[in-house]
Amino acid sequence: MNNLKQHLSYLADDRLEGRRTGTNGEQLAMAYIQKVFEKNGLSARGKEGYFQPFEINEGRAVAAASLLMINGNLLQLENDFFPLACSPDVSDEHMVAPALSESGLPWFLDIEDMLANNTHPHFDLYQALKDKARDAAAKGATALYIYNSGSQADGLKYDGADRSPRSGIPIIYLKAAVVKKWITDPTHPIEIKLRLQQTNKIRKGHNVVGYIDNQAPTTVVLGAHFDHLGYGEDNNSRHTGDAAIHNGADDNASGTAALLELSRMLKKSGPRNHNYAFIAFSGEELGLYGSRYFTENPTIALSDVSYMINMDMVGRLNDSSKTITVGGFGTSPSWQQLLFAEKKMPFQIKIDSSGTGPSDHTSFYRKDIPVLFFFTGLHTDYHKPSDDFEKINYAGTTHIVNYIYRLIGRTSNNGKLAFQKTREQQTTTSARFTVSMGIMPDYTFSGAGLRVDGVSEGKPAQKAGIKAGDIVTMLGSYPVYSVESYMQALSKFKKEDATQVKLKRGETELMVEVSF
Ligand SMILES: [Zn+2]
């Protein structure tokens, strides 16, 4: 219990500033985990020693070298103007009267009329602007400068997550104040200079991997994510006040502390019939990036893995209900016997059969590995700055650690556990959908389209023959560039509709028929 307390108090300290992936807080946590792995006698099993770096593509960003000048005056990105993210990179300079629409010059467009005339509920302003830009480009326009002189909000902004095809010419939004100041008389020429460059914003995360090599044919993987929300910069906090450190004591300093303690116990006196891999994942809070990267780029042979145990939020065992949720129960026929083998259980187990869920075991389940997911439950401090050290039930976490240790002991003669598929847990259910495809999207995919991570048994996608790894590029007449545009497209269908889905499977493109 003292070890757990020590690990937790360090990881959930303000000094680590919420352990956000890609920050100094992540670095401090990594260094601490490495130090404990070393002390416990684990060997390094990452790519750079214990560390396994990976990249998170956060989409496009306007490069610092970009600029817009009118009559020699530098305008400010965001305050004065912004490009639409579908714009290509350019650099040019023109004298132009905004009222003109001539070949070889930039064009100007007041979007007030487009907004006012369009009452269609599914009117897509963004797409309409791209169509305008395409038409203008065909007539020789070098850029399309847009502004809104009306009172109707247009909702346009720079969206770095946009993965739709580029518009042939840049589309630059000028804010009202800029138009008022510089375009007082549209027949009067202005000098306009544009340099636009967009880059991909890349964030680096690191898993920390330690290993106990018992020269055994099989390996047990234990995992817990150590990253958390930082100050809430990634919009995944439930906190509404000023920016504050999210210490994430339960989520998931608790699971990380349990992982570290289990590494000590298993090195010291664990059964030698398995090897043990201990993985502290990063990038979990952004969408299982670390575990997904690990299972795509494993530093151990995944084919030798007997099973994986994930601990995510194991610090709040309720002393009155004494109930813990164990997910992944359906992923192996062996779990029933192994989990309930003890006459006197230290807590009640509430089972959840699904191999998927909102944490890192999902990535291993996707590789046909039996998983278990230990979780003491949600609480009001979840994803808030108040998820703090002093609210942890240390005795409860100690029970869980000891129980997992005994459970691993019970598997020492089982070799590789048999795997079985389970139902998929619905991770996105929203009232705006009247139909469901049964597709689990890969949220980490950064190409154009929606990459299918898995399909639910018996749902429309599976019936249509859609498979994991397929990339959906069209749903009916709606192009799909990302998870968001897929969701938008899906919301246009209702029960009993049938439509065509365009897919990329490897290098091949195919069409399938889906009925909802
Ligand atoms: Zn978590």
**What are the residues whose beta carbons fall under 8 Å from the beta carbon of 50, sequence distance 6 or more?**
33, 34, 37, 38, 44, 208, 209, 210
Cα–ligand 1 centroid distance for 310 (angstroms): 10
Residue 345 has what DSSP assignment?
-
- 450-455/471-475 β-pairing: antiparallel
Could you give the maximum distance between any two Cα atoms of the chain, in Å?
88
24-60 pLDDT, tens digit each: 999 999 999 999 999 999 999 999 999 999 999 888 8
pLDDT of residue 441: 84
Task: Say whether pLDDT at 482 is over 90.
Answer: no
> Which candidate, 211, 259, 247, places its Cα nearest to that of 397?
259
Task: Say whether pLDDT at 427 is over 70.
Answer: no
pLDDT of residue 362: 95
Mean pLDDT for 136-147 is: 96
pLDDT of residue 9: 97
Cα–ligand 1 centroid distance for 252 (angstroms): 5
Residues with CB under 5 A from ligand 1 (ion): 251-252, 312
> Which candidate, 204, 313, 203, 310, places its Cα nearest to that of 248?
313
Cα–ligand 1 centroid distance for 396 (angstroms): 18
Whether 228 and 197 have beta carbons less than 8 Å apart is answered as: no
Separation between Cα atoms, residue 408 and residue 11, nearest integer Å: 26
Cα–ligand 1 centroid distance for 360 (angstroms): 9
pLDDT band at 250; cut points 50, 70, 90? very high
Cα–ligand 1 centroid distance for 458 (angstroms): 30
Structure-model confidence comparison of residues 147 and 122, the more confident one:
147
Mean pLDDT for 266-275 is: 96
pLDDT band at 171; cut points 50, 70, 90? very high
Cα–ligand 1 centroid distance for 219 (angstroms): 24
Task: Say whether pLDDT at 205 is over 90.
Answer: yes
pLDDT of residue 306: 98
pLDDT of residue 428: 47
> Which candidate, 463, 454, 505, 317, places its Cα nearest to that of 397?
317
Task: Say whether pLDDT at 95 is over 70.
Answer: yes
370-410 pLDDT, tens digit each: 999 999 998 999 999 999 999 999 999 999 999 999 999 99
How many residues are listed for the chain in this entry? 516
Cα–ligand 1 centroid distance for 225 (angstroms): 7
Cα–ligand 1 centroid distance for 308 (angstroms): 16
pLDDT band at 489; cut points 50, 70, 90? confident
Residue 268 has what DSSP assignment?
H
Task: Say whether pLDDT at 514 is over 90.
Answer: yes
**What are the residues whose beta carbons fall under 8 Å from the beta carbon of 497, sequence distance 6 or more?**
435, 515, 516
Separation between Cα atoms, residue 255 and residue 393, nearest integer Å: 12
pLDDT band at 425; cut points 50, 70, 90? low
Separation between Cα atoms, residue 483 and residue 342, nearest integer Å: 44
Residue 211 pairs with which residues in a beta bridge? 43, 277
Cα–ligand 1 centroid distance for 288 (angstroms): 10
Separation between Cα atoms, residue 458 and residue 423, nearest integer Å: 10
Cα–ligand 1 centroid distance for 323 (angstroms): 18
Number of H helices, E strands in the chain: 12, 23
Cα–ligand 1 centroid distance for 255 (angstroms): 9
Cα–ligand 1 centroid distance for 254 (angstroms): 10
Cα–ligand 1 centroid distance for 314 (angstroms): 10
Cα distance between the two ends of the chain = 52
pLDDT band at 458; cut points 50, 70, 90? confident
Residue 29 has what DSSP assignment?
H
- 79: which 2 tokens? 């305050």
Cα–ligand 1 centroid distance for 334 (angstroms): 26
pLDDT band at 501; cut points 50, 70, 90? very high
Cα–ligand 1 centroid distance for 340 (angstroms): 26
Cα–ligand 1 centroid distance for 369 (angstroms): 20
Cα–ligand 1 centroid distance for 20 (angstroms): 12
Separation between Cα atoms, residue 3 and residue 40, nearest integer Å: 12
Cα–ligand 1 centroid distance for 289 (angstroms): 13
The lowest-confidence range among 7-11, 35-39, 79-83, 180-184 is 180-184
Cα–ligand 1 centroid distance for 278 (angstroms): 17
Cα–ligand 1 centroid distance for 176 (angstroms): 43
Cα–ligand 1 centroid distance for 313 (angstroms): 6
Cα–ligand 1 centroid distance for 153 (angstroms): 37
Cα–ligand 1 centroid distance for 361 (angstroms): 11
Task: Say whether pLDDT at 429 is over 60.
Answer: no
Cα–ligand 1 centroid distance for 303 (angstroms): 26
Separation between Cα atoms, residue 145 and residue 227, nearest integer Å: 42
Tokens 């191999």 sit on residue = 355
Mean pLDDT for 472-498 is: 87
Separation between Cα atoms, residue 90 and residue 193, nearest integer Å: 10
The Cα-based distances of 235 to 24, 226, 373, 405 in angstroms read 19, 18, 25, 36
Mean pLDDT value across the chain = 92
Cα–ligand 1 centroid distance for 42 (angstroms): 24
Separation between Cα atoms, residue 358 and residue 285, nearest integer Å: 9
Task: Say whether pLDDT at 430 is over 50.
Answer: no
pLDDT band at 487; cut points 50, 70, 90? confident
Q: How many CB atoms lie within 10 A of CB 445?
A: 18
Cα–ligand 1 centroid distance for 429 (angstroms): 20
Cα–ligand 1 centroid distance for 224 (angstroms): 8
The lowest-confidence range among 94-108, 156-170, 335-349 is 156-170
Cα–ligand 1 centroid distance for 430 (angstroms): 22
Whether 61 and 199 have beta carbons less than 8 Å apart is answered as: yes
